[in-house]
Amino acid sequence: MADSGPGAAEAPPLGRETLARIRRSKQLYPWASSAILPSLWAVQEELGYLTPAALLAVAEELGLEPSEVEAVATFYSMYFRHRAGEHLIQVCRNVSCGLRGADELLRHLERALGVEDGGTTEDGAFTLEGTVECLGACGGAPMMQVDRISYENLDAAAADAVLEQVRSGAPRGRRSRARA
Ligand code: FES
């Protein structure tokens, strides 16, 4: 049985390869703060999300204040602070999408998936995020991204078709429906 007493060594929050990537990122830029973004990607690729211990480790490796790393980690919606599902659905609710039905789209997805905004389905297949800022496809509003692939001009039926396609594992590419 592993020693978990007070004197036991704690497992490092990050693996050697991730630490090496963080150090390489630091060498690429004149300012250590410029290496925060690639370092956080490296962490997320290893762990699936950004743990408090991992953020501290990044700050230590880069020689920065933990608050500086924390500020970057919380600013961008692409970084997860909790374990996400296999597929990430992000519904844009900025102005163009909001005016063309983003709220209704989000409510529909909540019902279809059985989760609230921010939740992950019981089977771990989908995480739904509905607090995302403009995703740069305003002309196709309302839109969402699934695993960073954009789906535009969505209504309930089109959103259902996207979910079905993702569930089936069919190959996916950028999708834009003709506006009704
Ligand atoms: S407002 Fe939704 S993509 Fe720009």
CATH architecture for the domain at 16-75: Orthogonal Bundle (1.10)
Residue ranges covered by each domain of the chain: 16-75, 87-176
Q: From the CA of 91, how far away is ligand 1's center (Å)?
A: 9
Q: Where residue 175 falls among pLDDT bands split at 50, 70, 90?
A: low
Other beta carbons within 10 Å of 3:
8
Q: Is residue 92 in contact with ligand 1, taking CB distance under 6 Å? A: yes
Amino acid 151: pLDDT: 97
Q: Shortest CA distance to 107 belongs to which of 138, 130, 89?
A: 130
Q: Is residue 134 in contact with ligand 1, taking CB distance under 6 Å? A: yes
Q: Cα angle vertex 52, ends 9, 126, to 5°? A: 120
Determine whether 2 is exposed, middle or buried from the number of CB atoms within 10 Å of its CB (0-12, 13-18, 19+).
Answer: exposed
Q: Is residue 137 in contact with ligand 1, taking CB distance under 6 Å? A: yes
Amino acid 172: pLDDT: 72
CATH code that applies to domain 87-176: 3.40.30.10
pLDDT digits (tens, 9 = 90+) for 143-161: 999 988 999 999 999 999 9
pTM for this one? 0.70
Pocket test for ligand 1, best of 99, 129, 143 (most atoms within 8 A of CB): 143
Mean pLDDT, residues 86-100: 94
Q: What would you measure as the largest C-alpha separation in the chain, in angstroms?
A: 66
Residue 142, preceding peptide bond in cis (omega within 30° of 0): yes
Other beta carbons within 10 Å of 100:
17
Of 34-43, 98-107, 128-137, 150-159, give the lowest mean pLDDT range: 128-137
- Using CA atoms of 100, 161, 150, 139 in order, give the dihedral in degrees to the nearest 10: -30
Judge whether residue 28 has pLDDT over 80.
Answer: yes
Amino acid 4: pLDDT: 43
Judge whether residue 7 has pLDDT over 50.
Answer: no
